């Protein structure tokens, strides 16, 4: 059985970490100076490298694998589990100067377990380092947070994810069209793990070594580019019916409406950049297919186009409302109707 890509390409050194320089640099500097804290708290969304950096940190301070203990707080969340931990920390390391305890999803601990952990964090043995990781910092008691050195992880942006995608596909012997990599990065939604999981599905079903945008759409169920372009064309020409029909088509494909609108927003941004900042032309060419670039360039150059900064603003507002709407398409439908003018037959 092939190893999952996110495990196969898990960073093994600080220099391999992408998109978290604000975490890596201070940690590296602290290690060199010997300024090691007894407790760290890594906060950020899922799949962005919290556990990877925790493992690398343990290795960089000379801790052998036999002295690194990983605990999933989602499965070991009770006071008895923490009592066992409190007893275990008092034993000396087997092979290293430190014992490192990596506690993932620490926000899942019960109130009683937090109280028990607090006592250990207040007076830990000198040979023990805790690295707590959480996706929900707001659920942690302030008493726990205040006793840790806190590091806030960022979601990797599109450029960082695309770079990872290209590196992995190259090493795997595949070639992705620029538009394919862009879509995979978009679907990855700021998570290295999710991005590589999507990429694995695509690679696993590819008949050859070149992956087209159509293959990505087919495997992932992503909205078709043609429907995205139809919405843009409708906003360009103030054709409400055309835009609503494309939106319905995306909904009938069971497309994630937030992903669909993200794709529309991305292309609308390109239209405005081509119109007002021609220096971006090469960058945009590298990110879309040749056919899409011609489509966007044509709209950007049309002085009668109805697409403006207001178009982007209204669709951004619609995007934020999708999660709260009774019907996910409704905020987008209303935005298209308002932007195009309420037309009566």
Q: Which domains does the chain have, with CATH numbers?
A: 20-152 (3.40.50.300), 158-220 (1.10.8.60), 225-340 (1.20.272.10)
Chain centroid to CA 100: 27
CA angle 301, 305, 307 (to 5 degrees): 105
In degrees and rounded to multiples of 5, residue 68 shows phi and psi of -110, 125
Q: In this structure, how many other beta carbons lie within 10 angstroms of the beta carbon of residue 334?
A: 15
Q: Please check whether residue 194 is in contact with residue 47, taking contact to mean a CB–CB distance below 8 angstroms.
A: yes
Query: Please, what's the b/e burial string for 139-177 (b: 16 or more CB within 10 A of its CB; e: otherwise)?
Result: ebeeebeebbbebebbbbeeebbbebbbebbeeeebebb
Taking the model in full, what pTM does it have? 0.81
Structure tokens at 298: 């044509």
Q: What is the pLDDT of residue 1?
A: 47
Block mean pLDDT (10 aa), the chain, length 345:
83 94 97 96 95 97 96 85 88 95 94 89 92 96 95 92 93 88 89 94 88 87 89 95 94 89 94 93 84 92 93 96 93 95 59
**Residue 258: C-alpha distances to residues 69, 143, 316, 322, 325 (Å):** 39, 37, 10, 7, 12
Chain centroid to CA 150: 20
Q: Which of 331, 344, 192 is nearest to 264 (CA)?
A: 331
């Amino acid at each position: 059985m092939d190893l999952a890509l996110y495990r196969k390409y898990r960073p093994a050194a600080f220099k391999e970490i992408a998109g978290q320089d604000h975490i890596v640099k201070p940690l590296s500097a602290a290690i060199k100076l010997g300024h090691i804290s007894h407790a760290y708290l890594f906060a950020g969304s899922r799949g962005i490298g919290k556990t990877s950096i925790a493992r690398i940190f343990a290795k960089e301070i000379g801790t052998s694998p036999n002295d690194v203990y990983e605990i999933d707080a989602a499965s070991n969340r009770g006071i008895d589990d923490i009592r066992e931990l409190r007893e275990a920390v008092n034993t000396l390391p087997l092979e290293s100067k430190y014992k490192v305890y990596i506690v993932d999803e620490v926000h899942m601990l019960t109130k009683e377990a937090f109280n028990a952990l607090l006592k250990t964090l207040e007076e830990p043995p000198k040979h023990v380092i805790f690295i707590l990781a959480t996706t929900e910092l707001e659920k942690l008691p302030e008493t726990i947070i205040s006793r840790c050195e806190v590091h806030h992880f960022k979601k990797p942006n599109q450029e960082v994810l695309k770079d990872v995608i290209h590196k992995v596909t190259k090493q795997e012997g595949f070639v992705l069209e620029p538009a394919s990599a862009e879509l995979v990065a978009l679907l990855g939604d700021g998570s290295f793990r999710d991005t590589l999981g999507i990429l694995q599905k695509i690679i696993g079903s590819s008949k050859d070594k070149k992956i087209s945008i159509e293959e990505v759409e087919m495997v992932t169920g992503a909205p078709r580019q043609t429907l995205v372009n139809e919405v843009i064309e409708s906003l360009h020409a103030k054709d409400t019916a055309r835009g609503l029909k494309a939106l319905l088509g995306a909904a009938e494909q069971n497309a994630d409406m937030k992903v669909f609108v993200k794709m529309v927003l991305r292309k609308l941004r390109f239209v405005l950049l081509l119109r007002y900042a021609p220096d971006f032309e090469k960058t945009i060419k590298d990110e879309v297919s040749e056919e899409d670039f011609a489509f966007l360039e044509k709209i950007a150059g049309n002085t009668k186009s109805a697409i403006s900064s207001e178009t982007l603003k209204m669709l951004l507002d619609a995007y934020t409302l999708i999660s709260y709407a009774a019907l996910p398409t409704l905020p987008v439908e209303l935005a298209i109707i308002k932007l195009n003018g309420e037309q009566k037959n």
